[in-house]
Amino acid sequence: MSLTQDQISRYSRHLLLPEVGVEGQEKICNSKVLCIGTGGLGSPVSLYLAAAGVGTLGLIDFDVVDQSNLQRQIAHGESTVGVLKTESAKRRINDINSDVNVVLYNERLTSENALTIFKDWDVIVDGTDNFPTRYLANDACVLLGKPYVYGCILRFEGQVSVFGAGDGPCYRCLYPEPPPPGLVPSCAEGGVLGVLCGIIGCLQTNETLKIILGQGDTMSGRLLIFDSLATKFREMKLRRDKNCPICGDTPTIKELIDYEQFCGILPPQDDPADRDMEIEPETVKQMLDAGKNFRFIDVRGEGERQICRIDAATLIPLDVIEERNVEKLNGLQKSDEIVIHCKSGVRSLKAAKALKDMGFDNVKSMRGGILEWSEKIDSTVPQY
């Protein structure tokens, strides 16, 4: 497809670059890029790719816009809270560049649909924040021979690389095994500086455009690490692992696997023992109203407690409990009846198990955490 007069005017600053020119801009306009996620990273990636003139832009997301997203997810705004993120992002993309063909996948990326979705795209850009999807996207890209533009953010640090390009390494070469479940918090648990999403997302977009143009040195074989507090970049050299199970000399992974299971992430309801350790927020409220004698423990961090709290709960952060030092547990006795809460019920269940291992027998985790408390018990408690 040749450039129209309108496109020549729109992309004139690109056309002035010898490394782009008319031929390069035509490559961009004829390219097809798929972005997994339209959140913190997916927002700047999709918006700048649209501005650059990428002809077809795919968006995968199944979530809706929430007010807590607006601090960093610039594809969305107050007017689209409650709207599907893909639909919200499409509105913004079309406002930036109506020539872009936006293809929406309002669904979760899974082992069943990944290869079918990925096969028609030139470049896959990862804007997700969980390990199962990263391994899934990596393996699907390796099996299909697609370049995988990786980005990762948490708190004040971000990472960027390109995997599966040519004979370069893949994500498994860098991280052969996922971390234990719960060891690395998500952005929803650990927080993230909003502008960091823009910095890392723009770097991912830069890598994507270089791949499309065939210009410059991509981040294949390199991992770029950015510390926003120090404003410093570090670079690590990466090599393809000849023993890698997906891209090595004798690969053992020939098809997509169960990535939730691979990463050790199983829903609590799958384990009857976990269900037995949980208690409903309504029951906890009844216990408080009745003046029942029990210890109510908040295992979130101090920063989270400053955002919102249940006044009756005492703070003992999860990392303190995991030290397994009874003397640091604010006077908890093994004979106490204990109810634990966190933000969503994941960390409190982990804390309850740790206390059980220490000999505390009467311990329950409040299902759904303070989020469910806000929804069902006290709507004046803010959600975050």
- Catalytic residue list: 187, 342
Q: Is the CB of residue 117 less than 8 Å from the CB of residue 60? A: yes
CA distances from 266 to 259, 260, 269, 342 (A): 10, 7, 8, 19
d(CA 41, CA 36): 9
What distance in Å separates the CA atoms of residue 96 and residue 148, rounded to the nearest whole number?
25
Rounded-to-10 torsion of CA 346, 352, 356, 358: 100
Instruction: Give the integer Cα–Cα distance in Å for 86 and 336.
Output: 48
Who's near 3: CB < 8 A, 6+ residues apart? 11, 22, 25, 26, 29
**Residue linked to tokens 């996620």:** 37
Look up residue 91 and give its two tokens: 């509105």
Closest CA to 44 of 200, 153, 228: 200
